[in-house]
Amino acid sequence: MYKKFALGLFAATFFCSSSFAQEVTLRAVTAFAEKTTYSRGFEKFIERVNADGKGLVQINYIGGPKAMPPFEVGNALKTGVVDIANTTGAFTTNVMPESDAWKLTERPMSELRKNGGYDYMAKLYAEKMNAIFLARLVDNNPFHLYLNKPISAPDLTGLKIRITPVYRDFFQALGATVVQTPPGEVYTSLERGVVDGYGWPITGIFDLGWHEKTKYRVDPGFYTAEVSVLVNKTTWDKLSDAQRAVLRKAAERGEAEAIAEFDAENAKDTKRQADAGIQTIKFDGAAAEAYRTKAYQAGWDGIIKQSPEHGPKIREFFSKK
Ligand code: 173
């Protein structure tokens, strides 16, 4: 697979060193399984580009984690092994630690594009990942803790929980022992009892059958999931204005649709989980408030520790407090 990528890259560099005069085909990967919740927005984006971009720009969808491990996508994009990627900040912290901060946004992208928050992050993506942050396709979609052992207070002492960087600081602050895995290893980890629970958003647990191995969901949720389309900047710089316009148009539509789309999806999957027999462990009132406050506190502490230079600035743009 990688050899094929590398040859393609060589050919692209050799034959079109300055710009893509004719129709160009861009290679795309997604960090989430194909045709599942967190790839769907990207697949719609690709359809729109391929419909609109005839004679200008086309996307060759190589696929998901079977083609490339999720935690390698950031580096593959940076080095130009792929031209476009659908991924989340938690999967690209090896290239840019600040990317995981999107989970802490308390303002929609429409506002962040005006208040300087988008520009600040876009500059970091360009500098650290050689990437254009084109569009956020997932927003308004809280994360939750899912468990197979009941808890009566927000205390995870003695429990082993599957994480990504999204949940690490918060679940550790609650006393958990954490184990990082890509989504593709969650099912077997639950099945073998390697973990007692996992972090994941409110939507998507049915995609890979995890509902079969899940007893409880803890409410309330916390943060908001982010999945976005990134473009290799070297590739982007070679595109014509017309080619970029095709990508921008599909990106803007996708980003504009995300909030309403996830309003509907969140409600749908909440009901589906209840129907599947997943019980809720619910913290109310002051306990819920304390749980969420702790989540954001631990989250920001983690980002600022990873990036003392940019973390505090990003917090000013993203946070309500
Ligand atoms: O849990 C995860 O794998 C994760 O970090 C994530 C991020 C965004 C959407 C879905 C999952």
Does residue 1 carry a pLDDT above 70?
no
* Ligand 1 neighbourhood includes 171 CB (under 6 angstroms): no
Q: What is the number of the ligand 1 atom nearest to the C-alpha of 91?
A: 5
DSSP 28: E
Q: In which order are the strands placed within the sheet that holds 131-138?
A: 57-63, 24-30, 84-87, 227-232, 131-138
Q: What is the pTM of this model?
A: 0.94
Give the residue with greater pLDDT, 17 vs 183. Answer: 183
Q: Could you give the residue range(s) of every CATH 3.40.190.170 domain in the chain?
A: 2-141+225-263, 143-223+276-307
Q: What is the mean pLDDT of residues 69-88?
A: 98
- CATH of region 143-223+276-307: 3.40.190.170
Q: Mention every residue, 6+ apart, whose C-beta is less than 8 A from residue 258.
A: 41, 109, 136, 137, 138, 139, 140
Q: What is the mean pLDDT of residues 168-177?
A: 98
- CATH of region 2-141+225-263: 3.40.190.170
* Ligand 1 neighbourhood includes 199 CB (under 6 angstroms): yes
d(Cα 11, Cα 7) in Å, to the nearest integer?
6
Q: How far is the CA of 201 from the centre of ligand 1 (A)?
A: 7
The tokens describing 114, both together, are 């005006």
pLDDT in tens, 211-238: 999 999 999 999 999 999 999 999 999 9
pLDDT in tens, 107-124: 999 999 999 999 999 999
* Ligand 1 neighbourhood includes 189 CB (under 6 angstroms): no
Q: Return the percentage of the chain with pLDDT > 70, whole number.
A: 94
Q: What is the mean pLDDT of residues 284-308?
A: 98
173-183 as b/e, with b when 16 or more CB fall inside 10 Å?
bbebebeebbb
* Ligand 1 neighbourhood includes 89 CB (under 6 angstroms): no
